Amino acid sequence: MTAVGTDGAGGDRIAVEERDGICTITLDRPEVRNAIDEETIDALHRTLDRLADEDAVSCVVLTGAGGKAFAAGADIAQLKERDRADALRAINSTLFKKLEEFPYPTIAAVVGYALGGGNELAMACDLRVAGKSATFGQPEVGLGILAGAGAIERLPRLVGLGRAKEILYTGRFLDAEEALAIGLVNQVVEDHAVMETALDLAKAIQKNDRLALRLTKASLNATARANDQVGLAIDAIAQAVCFESEEKHRRMGAFLERRKKKG
């Protein structure tokens, strides 16, 4: 069975294709490098909720349109206007937690930029396939905030605490080969082969027993996230403080001005 479409009210944000038990979700805002705004978050919530109730889907592949970015972070114009109440709502981290808890395996197929919330979105997936052009990073501290949508919990699990601290403190970018070397991604292939590789991986997973896969994922998550509830609560409180700071508004305003001048 093949079903292709968009997500209802958020249809201009994501495209959804279901084929033979594998669902591909594409972030579809290439004109802004698939920046994750609140409408995209809402569309992904609706889609994941629907898929979780469908027996036909046993694996999800998440990717970005346009070939230049998986997701180049949160929408800075929206983020600049968010206040401490928004931080405490944990808008992005609530979605990423839902993705991490999705009953069946998920794969991020990454070409181009996966920065900030984009990298956190990829890390919320079970596996990551990267193209050679892929660039990863958490530049939030340079914008006066913290990586409060899951990087503080998930990045150390993937790359170790010491490397995670370096990446989060400096905000530097990592290329695909470094990401592979430190365990941030599972495979690196040519850009044109990313989706084929991710789908082949999904097919290999799909051959196995659905119940065993679901229970394996649930057990792994339970073991790995023993203290994450406390961590996410601390993230939300810390982000609430940052969202009200003058420096956050100054830095994000400067970022938006630089982007405007670049066109």
Whether residue 204 is contained in a domain is answered as: no
Whether residue 221 is contained in a domain is answered as: yes
pLDDT at residue 103 in the model: 94
Whether residue 71 is contained in a domain is answered as: yes
Whether residue 200 is contained in a domain is answered as: no
**Which residue shows structure tokens 């609140």?**
38
Rounded Cα distance, 3 and 5, in Å: 7
CATH number for the domain harbouring residue 220:
3.90.226.10
Assigned token pair, 227: 């203290």
pLDDT at residue 73 in the model: 80
Assigned token pair, 150: 């899951």
pTM: 0.84
Whether residue 201 is contained in a domain is answered as: no
Domain with 215, as residue range(s), is: 2-194+209-262
Whether residue 16 is contained in a domain is answered as: yes
Per-residue CA distances from 246 to 49, 77, 219, 251 (Å): 37, 15, 43, 9
Rounded Cα distance, 142 and 173, in Å: 12
Question: How many folded domains does the chain comprise?
Answer: 1
DSSP alpha helix (H) spans, the chain: 38-52, 76-81, 84-89, 91-100, 117-124, 151-159, 161-170, 176-182, 194-206, 210-224, 228-243, 246-262
112 CB-near residues (< 8 Å, 6+ apart):
33, 64, 66, 67, 68, 69, 70, 72, 131, 133, 134, 135
Rounded Cα distance, 28 and 50, in Å: 19
Q: What is the rounded end-to-end Cα distance, in angstroms, of the chain?
A: 42
Rounded Cα distance, 41 and 48, in Å: 11
pLDDT at residue 9 in the model: 44
Q: Which of 234, 194, 167 is nearest to 111 (CA)?
A: 194
Alpha carbon dihedral 170, 172, 178, 182, in 10-degree steps, equals: 30
Q: Which of 208, 177, 65, 61 is nearest to 128 (CA)?
A: 61
Catalytically active residues, by annotation: 120, 140
Q: What angle do CA 120, 255, 71 make, to 5 degrees?
A: 30
Whether residue 202 is contained in a domain is answered as: no
Give, for all 263 residues of the chain, the pLDDT tens digit: 455 555 544 457 999 999 999 999 999 999 999 999 989 999 999 999 999 987 889 999 999 999 999 999 877 777 777 777 777 677 888 999 999 999 999 999 999 999 999 999 999 999 999 999 999 999 999 988 888 889 999 999 999 999 999 999 999 999 999 999 999 999 999 999 999 999 999 999 998 888 888 888 888 887 776 666 666 666 677 667 777 788 778 888 888 888 788 86
Whether residue 37 is contained in a domain is answered as: yes
